[in-house]
C-alpha cells in the first residue's frame, strides 16, 4: 500500500467515526447527569431506611405505603386538576396570541418584534415573576384597593394571594409562552393559499378556523401541551410560593419527603410521578404526530 492510500484509508475511517466523537460530550453529560441519576432513583426507591440513613435491602414498602395512602390519591387528583385547568387557559390564550401574530400582523418585522416581546419574560427569573404578584394580589394590593374604592367589596378578599387561584394565575403567567412559541411556529408554516381556497369556496371565519387552521396547528398545540403538562405536574416551587402552605401538589409532596431526608419515599414518589408524566406524554403523542415538527 502506498503512503497516500494509507492516509486516505485513515481519513475515511476517521470520517466514519467523526459523528461519534462529535456526539460524545452530549452522551457524557446526559449519561452522567440524566440517565445515571434516574437509575439511582429507581434503585433507592427499593431501599429501606432508618434515622442513620439508607439500608441496602430490597423492599417494596415505599411503593406499598404510598399507593395505599389516600393522601397520595387526593394529591394526584389535585395536581391533575391544576394541570387540566392551566392547560385549558394557556391553550386558549396562547392560541389566540399566536393566531394574532401569525395571521393578523402583516409585516415580518412587526411579527418578530411582537413575538420577542412575548418571549423575553421566559429569560427572566420565575421566582421574581411570582414575587411580583404581591403588590397586585396582596391583602392591601392594587386589586383589593380598586375593588374597595369602587364599592364592590367592603373588606379585602383574602383568597387572591396564597390560594389555588394564585397558583393557577402564576402558572398561566409563567407558562403561556410555552404554548405561544410552538403554535406560532406551526401556524407560520400553514400555506396561505389553503386559507384563500377555503374562503373562495365560501367558508366563513369559523369554518376556516375549525377545518383548516386548528387541524394544521395540532403539532404545535401538542408540543405546547407536553411542555405545560409536564411543567405543572412536576412543579413544587410555584405551589409552595403562591399557595403559601395552603395547597398541595405531587412535586411539593416529594420536596417535603426530601426535606425530611426520607429519600426512599421521595424516590418512590418520583418514580410514580415519572411514570404518570410519561404516560401523559405518550397519550398526547398517540393523538398527534409531531415528527414533522422536528
Partner 1 sequence: MEKRGLAFYLLAAFFALFVVFLYGPTITIALLSFQGPRGNLTFPMRGLSLHWFENLFDEQMVGDFAGSFGRSITLALIVMLLTVAISLLAGLAFRRKFRGATVLFYLTVASLIIPSILISLGIGLLFAVMGLQPTWWGSALGAHLTWTLPFGVLIMFAVFNRFDRSLEEAARDLGASPFQTFRHVVLPLITPSLIGVGLFGFSLSYDEFARSSMTAGSDNTLPLEIYGMTTNVTTPVLYALGTMTTMFSLAVIFVCVTLVVVLRRK
Q: Please give the residues from 90 up to 149 whose contact with partner 1 meets the rule CB under 8 A.
A: 93, 96-97, 99-101, 104, 106, 114, 116-118, 120-121, 123-129, 131-136, 138, 140-142, 145
Among the candidate windows 21-29, 59-67, 187-195, 214-222, which touches partner 1 by CB under 8 A? 21-29
Which residues in 256-285 contact partner 1 (CB under 8 A)? 258, 263, 266-267, 270, 273-274, 277, 281
Least separation, in Å, of the C-beta of 88 and partner 1?
16
Q: Which is nearer to partner 1, 1 or 4 (CB)?
A: 4
The reply to whether 20 sits near partner 1 by the rule CB under 8 A is yes
The reply to whether 55 sits near partner 1 by the rule CB under 8 A is no
Q: Which is nearer to partner 1, 122 or 216 (CB)?
A: 122
Distance from C-alpha of 205 to C-alpha of 214, rounded to nearest angstrom? 12
The reply to whether 156 sits near partner 1 by the rule CB under 8 A is no
The reply to whether 181 sits near partner 1 by the rule CB under 8 A is no
Least separation, in Å, of the C-beta of 204 and partner 1?
12
The reply to whether 190 sits near partner 1 by the rule CB under 8 A is no
Amino acid at each position: 500500500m502506498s503512503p497516500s492510500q494509507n492516509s486516505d484509508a485513515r481519513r475515511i475511517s476517521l470520517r466514519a467515526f467523526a459523528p461519534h466523537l462529535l456526539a460524545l460530550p452530549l452522551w457524557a453529560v446526559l449519561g452522567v447527569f440524566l440517565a445515571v441519576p434516574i437509575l439511582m432513583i429507581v434503585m433507592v426507591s427499593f431501599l429501606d431506611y432508618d434515622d442513620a440513613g439508607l439500608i441496602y435491602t430490597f423492599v417494596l414498602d415505599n411503593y406499598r405505603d404510598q399507593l395505599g395512602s389516600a393522601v397520595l390519591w387526593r394529591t394526584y387528583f389535585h395536581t391533575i386538576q391544576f394541570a387540566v385547568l392551566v392547560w385549558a387557559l394557556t391553550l386558549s390564550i396562547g392560541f389566540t396570541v399566536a393566531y394574532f401574530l401569525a395571521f393578523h400582523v402583516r409585516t415580518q418585522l412587526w411579527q418578530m418584534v411582537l413575538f420577542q416581546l412575548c418571549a423575553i419574560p421566559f429569560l427572566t427569573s420565575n421566582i421574581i415573576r411570582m414575587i411580583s404578584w404581591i403588590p397586585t394580589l396582596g391583602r392591601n394590593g392594587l386589586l383589593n384597593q380598586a375593588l374597595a374604592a369602587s364599592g364592590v367589596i367592603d373588606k379585602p378578599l383574602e383568597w387572591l394571594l396564597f390560594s389555588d387561584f394564585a397558583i393557577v394565575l402564576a402558572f398561566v403567567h409563567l407558562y403561556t409562552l410555552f404554548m405561544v412559541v410552538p403554535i406560532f411556529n406551526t401556524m407560520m408554516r400553514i400555506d396561505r393559499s389553503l386559507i384563500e381556497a377555503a374562503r373562495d369556496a365560501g367558508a366563513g371565519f369559523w369554518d376556516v378556523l375549525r377545518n383548516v387552521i386548528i387541524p394544521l396547528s395540532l403539532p404545535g398545540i401538542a408540543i405546547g401541551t407536553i411542555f405545560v403538562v409536564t411543567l405543572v405536574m412536576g412543579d413544587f416551587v410555584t405551589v409552595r410560593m403562591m399557595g403559601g402552605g395552603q395547597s398541595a401538589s405531587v412535586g411539593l409532596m416529594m420536596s417535603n419527603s426530601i426535606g425530611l431526608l426520607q429519600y426512599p419515599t421521595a424516590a418512590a414518589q418520583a418514580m410514580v410521578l415519572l411514570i404518570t408524566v410519561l404516560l401523559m406524554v405518550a397519550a398526547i403523542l398517540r393523538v398527534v404526530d409531531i415528527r414533522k415538527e422536528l
